[in-house]
């Protein structure tokens, strides 16, 4: 059996922190400036802002290009280094229990807030006045996706095809099988294990290189969003947007904050620790753009490598707290705006359907809207045509969905690691108190992992 390799075996972060870089060289400052410039450009020169779309799309494609190798290498080397194969099933089981509890809680919170604030009440919009053509493509995608199809799609066509297509769950499935196989073969697989461990160093270096383009991607995505949709376009639906943002903020600070406090760390310190990634997610409206960096940071913060390798990729399909809040909140908003009364039984039905349809939604722009369409097509009381009402502001709510999803997965990594007694708590507190102790993604620190 190959020896266990975990972040706790790294040298403890007791050395003097590196010298602080000049403010204009700090990534999150660069991303903030880029977002601000993008907003100004999109607002003052909308056509020029729309023309910046390829910059944002290009950056997201660059990051998605490296996601499959990062997940594969992290999961394979993490599992292969574990001495007890039962631990893999134990970690996966605990992870799914955690995801099920909190994704359901997010759906319930969306229902409660929508019934309490009623952001769509009083709009009295006739159903026959809606232009269904605007959402026809989303409805088609929703009809094409089924639970059976989703489960079967986890199994790839070939062993290497997930590394080509980049499907996160397929990559995770193959990586788990390969990691288990290396571990069961034992010493004869040592050359393969050493090779994959060595390859992980330049792969994470590629991540570091790509992150330098983050300000350009954030600028392009934000300029396009404001230029194409306009800041004023959210005016008519301000109540829904404000309700969603406030609910998501309270979910992060109160619900996840209490979870963090119970597990011995501060949600505010964690948010400070991942602020670079949060700003990147905000700029690109895609939580996938920061996935490799999140996995690296969670490992360097003391979470066990096998736990991070399972929790984070699985979380991008099964732990979408922001998307879940959005689904039930938007569904009830549509019912209220169209004067459709939903009984308690109808809302329970909506909740049960959403619990299934929300699983497998990817962390990319538009996935939440497609998942909402899938939910509405199953609940007969809610006309799918009502999605037109939220189409105009969906892009603005996409950022909030991605930020909430991303934060939820960061918290899950720490909680599951602690739950499984694979968290270096001293290391965690050290880096949360002083984030400068963490090296940039791809730097020499990765070699210790």
Contacts by 130-138, CB closer than 8 A, 24 or more apart? 130/385, 130/386, 130/388, 130/389, 131/388, 132/385, 132/388, 134/388, 134/391, 135/373, 135/384, 135/385, 135/387, 135/388, 135/391, 138/366, 138/369, 138/370, 138/373, 138/387
Q: What is the mean pLDDT of residues 256-272?
A: 94
* DSSP assignment of 130-198: S-GGGGHHHHHHHHH--HHHHHHHTS-SSSSHHHHH--HHHHHHHHHHHHHHHHHHGGGGHHHHHHHHH
Q: What is the pLDDT of residue 228?
A: 76
Query: What topology is assigned to 21-441 in CATH?
Result: 1.10.3860
**pLDDT at residue 278 tops 50:** yes
Average pLDDT over residues 105-119: 90
What is the rounded average pLDDT of the residues 355-375?
A: 61
| Tens digit of each residue's pLDDT (9 = 90 or more) over 382-417 | 777 777 777 666 767 878 888 998 999 999 999 999
- Give the residue ranges of DSSP H helices in 338-438: 344-357, 367-378, 388-419, 425-433
Q: What is the pLDDT of residue 146?
A: 57
pLDDT of residue 132: 53
Between CA 6 and CA 9 the distance in angstroms is 6
Q: What is the pLDDT of residue 258?
A: 95
Given a cut of 60, whether residue 428 has pLDDT beyond it is yes
> What residue spans define the domains of the chain?
21-441
The answer, yes or no, to whether residue 441 has pLDDT greater than 50, is no
pLDDT at 311 over 50: yes
Non-local (6+) Cβ contacts of 173 within 8 A are: 154, 155, 156, 162
Share of the chain above pLDDT 70, in %: 77
Instruction: Answer yes or no: is pLDDT of 131 > 80.
Output: no
C-beta of residue 335 within 8 angstroms of C-beta of residue 120: yes
Residue range 7-14: average pLDDT?
41
Structural contact between residues 173 and 160, judged by C-beta atoms closer than 8 angstroms: no
Q: Residue 150: what pLDDT?
A: 61
Quote the percentage of the chain above a pLDDT of 90: 14
Residue 171: the pLDDT is 83
Contact 180, 88 (CB under 8 A): yes
């Amino acid at each position: 059996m190959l020896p266990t390799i975990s972040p706790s075996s790294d040298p403890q972060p007791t050395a003097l922190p590196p010298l602080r870089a000049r403010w204009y060289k700090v990534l999150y400052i660069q991303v903030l400036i880029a977002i601000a410039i993008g907003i100004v450009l999109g607002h003052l020169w909308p056509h020029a802002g729309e023309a910046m779309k390829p910059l944002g799309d290009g950056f997201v494609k660059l990051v998605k290009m490296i996601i499959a190798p990062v997940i594969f290498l992290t999961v394979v080397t993490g599992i292969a280094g574990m001495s007890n194969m039962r631990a893999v099933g134990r970690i996966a089981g605990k992870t799914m229990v955690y995801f099920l509890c909190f994704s359901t809680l997010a759906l319930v919170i969306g229902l409660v807030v929508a019934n309490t604030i009623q952001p769509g009440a009083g709009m009295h919009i006739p159903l026959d006045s809606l232009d269904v053509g605007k959402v026809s493509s989303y409805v088609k995608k929703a009809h094409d996706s089924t639970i059976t199809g989703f489960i079967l799609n986890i199994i790839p066509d070939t062993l290497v095809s997930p590394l080509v297509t980049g499907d996160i769950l397929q990559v995770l499935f193959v990586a788990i099988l390969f990691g288990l196989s290396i571990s069961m073969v034992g010493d004869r697989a040592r050359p393969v294990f050493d090779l994959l461990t060595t390859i992980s160093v330049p792969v994470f270096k590629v991540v570091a290189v790509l992150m330098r383009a983050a300000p350009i991607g954030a600028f392009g995505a934000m300029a396009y969003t404001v230029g194409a949709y306009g800041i004023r376009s959210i005016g008519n639906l301000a109540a829904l947007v404000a309700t969603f943002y406030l609910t998501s903020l309270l979910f992060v600070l109160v619900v996840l904050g209490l979870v963090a406090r119970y597990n011995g760390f501060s949600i505010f310190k964690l948010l400070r620790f991942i602020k670079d990634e949060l700003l990147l997610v905000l700029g690109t409206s895609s939580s996938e753009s920061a996935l490799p960096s999140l996995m690296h940071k969670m490992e360097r913060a003391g979470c066990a490598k096998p736990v991070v390798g399972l929790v984070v990729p699985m979380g991008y399909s099964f732990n979408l707290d922001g998307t879940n809040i959005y689904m039930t909140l938007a569904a009830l908003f549509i019912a209220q705006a169209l004067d459709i009364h939903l009984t308690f039984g109808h809302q329970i039905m909506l909740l049960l359907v959403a619990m299934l349809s929300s699983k497998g939604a990817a962390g990319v722009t538009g996935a939440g809207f497609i998942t909402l369409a899938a939910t509405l097509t199953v609940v007969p009381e809610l006309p799918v045509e009502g999605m037109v009402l939220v189409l105009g502001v969906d892009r603005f709510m996409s950022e909030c969905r991605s930020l909430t999803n991303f934060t939820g997965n960061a918290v899950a990594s720490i909680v599951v690691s602690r739950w499984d007694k694979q968290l270096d708590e001293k290391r965690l507190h050290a880096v949360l108190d002083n984030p400068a102790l963490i090296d940039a993604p791809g730097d020499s620190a990765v070699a210790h992992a």
